[in-house]
Amino acid sequence: MKSFNVPSFYRSPLISKLKLHYKTQDPHRKIKQPFILNTETCAIVIARHFGFCYGVENAIDIAFKALHEHPGKSIYLLSEMIHNPQVNSDLRQRGVQFLNDTQGNPLIPLQTLKSDDVIIIPAFGASLEVLSAINALQLQVHTYDATCPFVERVWNRAEKLATSQHTILIHGTFNHEETRATFSRAVIQNTPVLVIRTPEEAAYLAECIKHNADDGEFKTRFTGRYSPGFEPSRDLTRIGVINQTTMLASETQHIADIIKSALEIRYGSEALKLHFAETRDTLCYATNENQEAVLELRNVCPDMVFVIGGYNSSNTSHLVEICESVCPTFFIEHSDCIQKTQIHHYNLHKKNIENSMWPHLPQYPKIAFTSGASCPDAVFEDVVFKVAQHFNLNANQVTTYFNAL
């Protein structure tokens, strides 16, 4: 796999050592079990896969390449490079300006840019509408395109579904940058497109497929999430499912199964192939690996788990959802969230920040850690050290344990 020039301050000697250990012992990435470091006062449990993925490292490499090659020039990102506050803050401090927020709302008018300004496309890609607006102003953009190749793979899948005259059903969050970009590319293929978020919405679609939809109810329920001219009675007869690459794999499969079952009921098993496209999962490898690694934590039975990443990170949020079924889970952005008596964390369900007391733990607790695909290893290391302090271990002691690998 290609290697990238990621700045050293995002790296961690500790985590690099662990990843090198796995690279040597498990070159084909077959091991699923977490790494367990037994210290004097606690067990430190680290999920097998976590942290920066290919697409994120590629995006960071491209952003710093743009900074290096254009000193003194105005450099702009279409939106956040990735959903990680430390990385985005660091880019801002280096002079990179953001043209839009994560919802696509303008922060800087495109009309104010000059033809020699530098524009970077983030890892999520960009919608065709945004690219058209840039091209209309004769601004250069494609030199620094950091779109994740796994996102582009989804776009290619959408094109194939359009060619075979299937309606494209996108499992994702409509206001997410990646889904907006995918939606715009699907729509231009002149095929019906619909974005859904939950299995409950898929169940409603199943009823529409089996019994024909009430047009008014359908369009009210999915306002703003379907392509122009979408007609449920016509456009829910041949369907292929793709997804935002950071969604829960199990949820995407569940949605596809619901739709497939409804089409089979309506058209019969023999005709099913004409109505449902068997698309292999379009999640990226890192999303799959990170989710599978978190599921493996169940076999260890940790007493608590820290999930590290940006609060607006989709892939990190899904890791939290999985961990919550295992043990007390704390979604944090960095080590400052960990205090002596309290943990400053994000409640995924209430959508707010909370301060919680440390949970009651056994005499020798097992503390687990994982992080989203956009979390720097340096941040991960800081959290491990901070938690270790809570159990009377300093950084040197933790490092000594890791050096025994």
Give me the active site residues, please.
178
- The CA distances from residue 158 to 47, 153, 341, in Å, are 33, 9, 50
- Rounded to a whole number, what is the largest CA-CA distance in the chain? 65
Would you say 197 and 174 are in contact if contact means Cβ atoms under 8 Å apart? yes
Residue type, 284: C
- DSSP states along 53-72: -HHHHHHHHHHHHHHHHSTT
**Can you read off the two tokens belonging to residue 364?**
């020798």
Alpha-carbon gap, residue 379 to 393, rounded angstroms: 18
Alpha-carbon gap, residue 400 to 320, rounded angstroms: 30
- DSSP one-letter code for 97: E
- DSSP states along 15-42: HHHHHHHHHHH-TT----SPEEEE-SS-
Alpha-carbon gap, residue 96 to 261, rounded angstroms: 48
Cα distance between the two ends of the chain: 24
CA 256 to chain CA centroid, Å, is 20
Burial of 188: CB neighbours in 10 Å, binned 0-12, 13-18, 19+: middle
Which contacts qualify for 255-261: CB closer than 8 Å, 24 or more apart?
255/169, 255/171, 255/196, 255/199, 255/202, 258/199, 258/202, 258/203, 258/205, 258/206, 259/169, 259/202, 259/205, 259/206, 259/209, 261/206
Positive or negative torsion for Cα 370, 19, 291, 368: negative
Alpha-carbon gap, residue 376 to 354, rounded angstroms: 23
Strands (E), 187-294: 193-196, 239-243, 276-277
Give the count of beta carbons closer than 10 Å to the beta carbon of residue 215: 13
